[in-house]
Amino acid sequence: MANLAVTNWFGDLVWNPSVLVEPNSIEDVVSVVNNPDRYPSPVRAVGSLHSTARCNVADGGTVLKMTRMNRILNITSDTVTAEAGALYIDIAQELEKHQLQFYVNTEIGSLSVGSAACAGTKDASMPGEYGQVNSYVIGVKMVLPSGEILEVKEDQPELLAQVRSSYGTFGIVTEATFRIRPIQPMAVYHETYALEDFVQKLPELQARHESMMFYIFPFDNLITIEFRRYNPGATGSPNRHVWPLRNYLWAKAGPRFCADIEKDIPVPAIRYKIIDDFCAMWRFKLDHLIRSDYTIATDQIIRYPAVSDDSRYTFSLWAFPEEAYPTVLPAFFQFCRDYYSRKGYRTNVLNVGYRIAKDTSSLLSYSYDGTVMTVDPVSTANPGWKPFLEAYNEFCSARGGVPLFNQTYGVTRPQAQKAFADRLKIMARTRKAYDPGDRLLNDYFRELLAD
C-alpha cells in the first residue's frame, strides 16, 4: 500500500505503515503475526486512535485496526467479555439494559476494549474504588508474537498486572473480561474556589470522601471541583439531562468556540479575554446547572465522532502525590503565566485534573505509590502547543510527576526512568521474554523500554 498514512484521532500525529489490516477474527491476527514477509514489523494494534502520544506509531510496519472485532461475547451478573474492537460506550449502554454498569465510567467512550485492557486511562476515583479502567480487567486473551494464543486471568496476578500496562508490546489483545457492578444512583455537584482557598481547604474537601475532578483556570486563579458519590437512597426518576449538558459544553461547544476564537481573533489580549469570559460562563453552568442527587453513571461517557471534527481537542497529563498537590498546583499556575509572558503562548481550553486512588493493579500505574492528583493541559493544538508540552514535561518531571505513555506527549526516557524506576526494568524484561524478535516493538517503546 504505497503512500499509506495513518493519523491519531485528533490528527496531529501521522505515520506511514506499509500495511493496514482490519482483522475479523483471532485467526486473522495469528495470520498477520506469523507472516513477517507480508506484514512487516512493527505490528501495532489500534482502536479509535485517541492516544495523544506516539505509542501506536508503526512507520514501515503493520497496523492492525481492530474495529471489526467488536462483539460483546458474554454478560454475567458481575462480568462482561468483549472483543478488542468493541467500544466502551457501546458496552456500557448494553450493560444498562441489564441494570449493570462499569466501575469506571470514563469520559472517552470511544475507548476500545483492547486499549482499555493494556493501556492507561484516567478518571476520578469513586469512593473506595479505582479510577483506571484496566484495574477492573480480570481476563485478557492475546495473540503472542509467536502466533500462540495466551489467556491471562486473575489466578496469575503478577502477569496480569504487567499485561494491564503492556501497551500491546507483549501480544495483540483480542478480547478482555471486565468486572462490573449493578447500577446505582449517583449524585453530582460543582463548587468553585480561588486557588488559595482551595489549597487551604483541600484536607477538608478530601475528607468528604467523594470523587473529585478539577476544572483548572490558571489565568483566573480559580478551580472548579466536580464532586460525585453514589447515592443509593435517591428516589424518583434519574436526571438524564445534566450529563449530556456537561458533555456538550466539554466535548462540543467549548472546544469549537475556543478554536474559532483562536482562528478569528488575531490579538492575543482580546482573544484570551473572550476565552476567559467564556470559561466564566462555563463555571457558572457547572456550579448552578450540573447538579443532581440522582444521575446514571453511564451518562458520563461521551461518544466522540469516528472522524474528528471542528470540536476536537487534545490534552496531556502528569500525576502527582496528593500530598504534593498544594505545592504543585500553585507552581503550575505560575508556570503557565510565566510561559505566556516569555513565549506568548497559553492553552486555549480550560485545563483539568483528577484525584485517583492508590492502585497497584497495573505495574505502570501512575498511582502505584499512593493516591495522586493530576494536572492536565487541554488545547485545540493552537500554535505553540507542542513546545509548551516540552516545557510542561520538564516542569512536571522535576516535581516528581508520573506520566502516562499513551496520553502524555513527548515523554523522554530519563523522565520515564525517574517516574517508574525498577518497574520500567521489569516491564522491559517481560516484554523481551514474550517478544524476543521485537515483532511488536516500535521506536517509541524501543526508546522507553531500552535495556
Residues 6+ apart with CB under 8 A from 240: 295, 296, 299
- Taking the CA atoms of residue 335, residue 338, residue 343 and residue 349 in that order, the dihedral angle to the nearest 10 degrees is 60
Tell me the per-residue pLDDT of 293-345, one tens digit each, with 9 for 90 and over.
Answer: 999 999 999 999 999 999 999 999 999 999 999 999 999 999 999 999 999 99
C-beta separation of 322 from 366 below 8 A: no
How far is Cα 254 from Cα 275, in angstroms, rounded to an integer? 9
Start and end residues for every CATH 3.40.462.10 domain found in the chain: 185-414
- Check residue 374 and give its pLDDT: 98
pTM value?
0.97
Choose among 310, 306, 354, 436: nearest CA to 122: 354
- Smallest Cα–Cα separation from 211: which of 117, 324, 297? 297
Strands in 166-302 per DSSP E: 172-182, 185-194, 211-217, 222-230, 292-296
pLDDT, mean of residues 350-360:
97
Q: Which CATH class for the 6-65 domain?
A: alpha beta
pLDDT of residue 339: 98
- Side chain identity at residue 257, one-letter code: F
Topology, domain 185-414 = Vanillyl-alcohol Oxidase; Chain A, domain 3 (3.40.462)
Residues of the chain with CATH 3.30.465.10: 67-183
Per-residue pLDDT tens digits for 86-105: 999 999 999 999 999 999 99
**Is residue 42 reached through a cis peptide bond, with omega within 30 degrees of 0 on the bond before it?**
yes
Where in the chain are all domains bearing CATH 3.30.43.10?
Answer: 6-65
DSSP assignment, residue 124? P
Q: What would the DSSP string read from start to end of 314-360?
A: EE--EEEEGGGHHHHHHHHHHHHHHHHHHHS---SS-EEEEEE----
Q: What is the pLDDT of residues 120-159, one digit of tens each?
A: 999 999 999 999 999 999 999 999 999 999 999 999 999 9
Q: Is the pLDDT of residue 2 over 80?
A: no
Q: What is the CATH number of domain 67-183?
A: 3.30.465.10
Closest CA to 186 of 96, 288, 293: 293
